[in-house]
Amino acid sequence: MSTFHPNGLAAAVFNLLSILALILSFVMLASHWIRNHILAFAIQSWVIACLSAFIGLSGHDPELIPIAILTALLRGTALPYLLIRLLDQAHLNREFAPLVQPSSSMVLGAALVLLAYTMTLHLGPGTHIPDPTALMALTTMLAITLIGFLMLVLRTEALSHLLALLVIENGIFLGSQILMPGMPVLLELVILFDLIIIVVTFGILVRFLKTEIGSTDSR
């Protein structure tokens, strides 16, 4: 497995972008306004696109440049646009019946970050990843993925569940950029178009729930 080993300034920039992506996950976790979720997801996707471009340029891996462009255009622009349209069609603004309050969500999210860090300490030696930046990527990937699963459990609106799934995918994709930077462009293109299909499918489901039941609450 080929990994990217940045040093000095490159490592600092990578860590900064990774932490920013993690902070945006907390923004989505703490807010009950679905439009804010979509905006934070879009920014997070652009951050990951910048991360891909940065690794491609500093790691001399040109395959990551088109992946970064596709990520910015599809994941950071097209998907949020489709989600905003779904939100407007469903006449939703916020999560009306959250299971826990934002402060409790933040505490649970912080606990998951600690869990991700603990898992990384145990997984790092076993996977032979001694590089601190790679360990940071693994921690961030696990933390964002776990926060996505937490959102999936705590949210009740169908659109919020869709956003949680997209956050999980963002976390996995972020980690793959440093742990497996040689991912083929064709594979990434297939994944991005699969995400668009998922959003369209959820859009059909949301419209059906709104028409037949009058609510998009999953409970």
Tens-level pLDDT at each residue, the chain (219 residues): 445 555 677 778 888 888 999 999 999 888 878 888 889 999 999 999 998 888 878 766 777 788 888 888 888 898 888 888 877 777 776 655 667 787 888 999 999 999 998 988 887 665 555 567 778 888 898 999 999 999 888 887 777 888 888 898 888 888 777 666 555 555 666 666 667 767 767 666 666 556 655 555 555
CB contact set of 60 (below 8 Å; sequence gap of 6+): none
Instruction: State how far the Cα of 24 lies from the Cα of 219, in Å rounded to an integer.
Output: 27
Contact between 75 and 192 (Cβ < 8 Å): yes
Is position 98 within any domain? no
Instruction: State how far the Cα of 83 lies from the Cα of 74, in Å rounded to an integer.
Output: 12
Instruction: State how far the Cα of 143 lies from the Cα of 139, in Å rounded to an integer.
Output: 6
**Angstrom distances, CA of residue 172 to CA of 177, 179, 180, 191:** 9, 10, 11, 12
Is position 100 within any domain? no
Full-model pTM: 0.81
* Residue from 47, 21, 27 nearest 171 by CA: 21
Is position 110 within any domain? no
| Number of structural domains found in the chain | 1
Instruction: State how far the Cα of 124 lies from the Cα of 45, in Å rounded to an integer.
Output: 26
- Quickly tell me which residue has 């804010």 as its tokens: 36
Tokens of 30: 């703490």
Contact between 169 and 195 (Cβ < 8 Å): yes
Is position 118 within any domain? no
- Domain span at residue 201 reads 9-92+123-212
Instruction: State how far the Cα of 129 lies from the Cα of 149, in Å rounded to an integer.
Output: 25
Is position 105 within any domain? no
Is position 155 within any domain? yes
- Quickly tell me which residue has 């032979």 as its tokens: 128
Is position 111 within any domain? no
Q: Which helix (H) or strand (E) holds 117?
A: helix 102-127
Instruction: State how far the Cα of 137 lies from the Cα of 3, in Å rounded to an integer.
Output: 11
Is position 36 within any domain? yes
